[in-house]
Amino acid sequence: MTDAIKNRYEFTILFDVENGNPNGDPDAGNMPRVDAETGYGLVTDVCLKRKIRNCIEVLQEDKAGYRIYIKEGIPLQTSDKQAYTNLNIDQKEIKKLKKDDPQKDQQIRNFMCRTFFDIRAFGAVMTTFVKDNLNCGQVRGPVQLGFARSVDPIMPQEVTITRVAITTEEDAAKKNTEMGRKHIIPYALYRVDGYISANLARKVTGFSEEDVAVLWQAIINMFEYDRSAARGNMAVRELIVFKHDNELGNAPAYKLFDTIKVRRKEGVIAPRQYTDYQVEIAEDKIPDGVTCERMI
């Protein structure tokens, strides 16, 4: 494993959706998520991490050290057992082994972090190890994302569609078409802020500069290889990265995020494309010891 990062990072992602549903809420008929008090759109951190994981799989194709732990069709327990197999650990003897060798917790954690990119980045709760009373069962990752929030309030629409795929043979004898519905947002621009802790990377997972480069590539392309008619046209429009010149940083994260202003252009009432907005960075307000780079 290469050396862990030595610099703290913060970053801001701007992405948009056109005629699609970026993150449906299953408790609300799969409608786009909305802050009920303000009308601003929301996309969960879990949704965005899923897109990043999917993109990593496409870009790295199970390259050593870049496998994905949380993925469809593979139980977490199956992946957990790889650590026991690789380290020649008999699960039935784990309590005795841990007593004889207190370092086993760390060895198991290090194996999982080396093997799976998303554990190294986002952390994980590994149930097998938790049940076996190992201290490595919960790993806190250095990369964290909040909820994405739309720049302006959104106006979700329910669109009625006609489909020729009849559900049952009985219904097919009575009619040729059925009605369906889908939820869309005509247009919305979303912003999400993220963090990378060099301190956690060094102490816990070993997240490296190579990993950072892969993460930026995955963020930039997270909608490019995962298209869906339900999500409409989605694209990452900006990735703005703040890099501190040391592990603990030179300024509070909120001061850096406050230097980024995203607003509608004058005269635009109902935005329908990215060029209806302007993005400005107050570079003169960025503290010494912090650099800012627009990756897109």
Q: Give 29-71 pLDDT, tens digit per residue.
A: 899 999 999 999 999 999 999 999 999 999 999 899 999 999 9
> Cβ contacts of residue 168 below 8 Å, gap of 6+?
none
pLDDT of residue 171 exceeding 80: no
Residues 194-244: pLDDT tens digits? 999 999 999 999 999 999 999 999 999 999 998 888 899 999 999 999 999
pLDDT at 108: 93
Residues written for the chain? 296
Give the pLDDT score at 258: 97
Structural domain total, the chain: 1
- Comparing 99 with 61, which gets the higher pLDDT? 61
187 domain-assigned: yes
pLDDT of residue 99: 79
Report pLDDT for 265. 96
Which residues form the domain of 56?
9-159+182-294
- The token pair at 156 is 């979700």
pLDDT band of residue 90 (cuts 50, 70, 90) is: confident
pLDDT of residue 98: 75
Any alpha helices (H) in the chain, and if so which ranges? 45-60, 76-86, 94-100, 104-115, 117-122, 127-131, 169-172, 198-200, 209-220, 253-257
Determine, yes or no, domain membership for 257: yes
Spatial contact of 34 and 42, defined as CB atoms under 8 Å apart: yes
Nearest to 126 by CA among 113, 110, 139: 139
In a domain, 76, yes or no: yes
The reply to whether 170 falls in a domain is no
Compute the C-alpha angle 67/194/285, nearest 5°: 145
What mean pLDDT is predicted for residues 113-134? 92
Whole-Å CA distances, 212 to 26, 101, 201:
33, 33, 11
With CA atoms as reference, report the closest residue to 176 among 186, 155, 162, 190. 162
What is the per-residue pLDDT for 175? 81
Dump strand ranges (E) for the chain: 9-20, 24-25, 31-32, 40-43, 123-125, 138-140, 143-145, 148-153, 157-163, 178-196, 233-244, 260-264, 277-281, 290-294
**Of all residues in the chain, what percent carry a pLDDT higher than 70?**
100
Residue 2 lies in a domain: no
Comparison of pLDDT for 216 and 132, the residue scoring more:
216
If you average pLDDT over every residue of the chain, what do you get?
Answer: 93
pLDDT of residue 163: 77
pLDDT of residue 168: 80
Residue 95 has pLDDT above 90, yes or no: no
Residue 272 resides in a domain = yes
What was the pLDDT predicted at 179? Answer: 78
The pLDDT of 267-284, averaged and rounded, is 96
- CB 192 within 8 Å of CB 48: yes
Is 177 within a domain? no
**Beta-bridge partner residues of 261:** 280
pLDDT of residue 1: 56
Query: Given this model, what pLDDT does residue 282 score?
Result: 96
In a domain, 164, yes or no: no
**For residue 220, what pLDDT is reported?**
98
Mapped onto helix, strand or coil, the DSSP state of residue 196 is: strand
**Whether residue 143 has pLDDT greater than 60:** yes
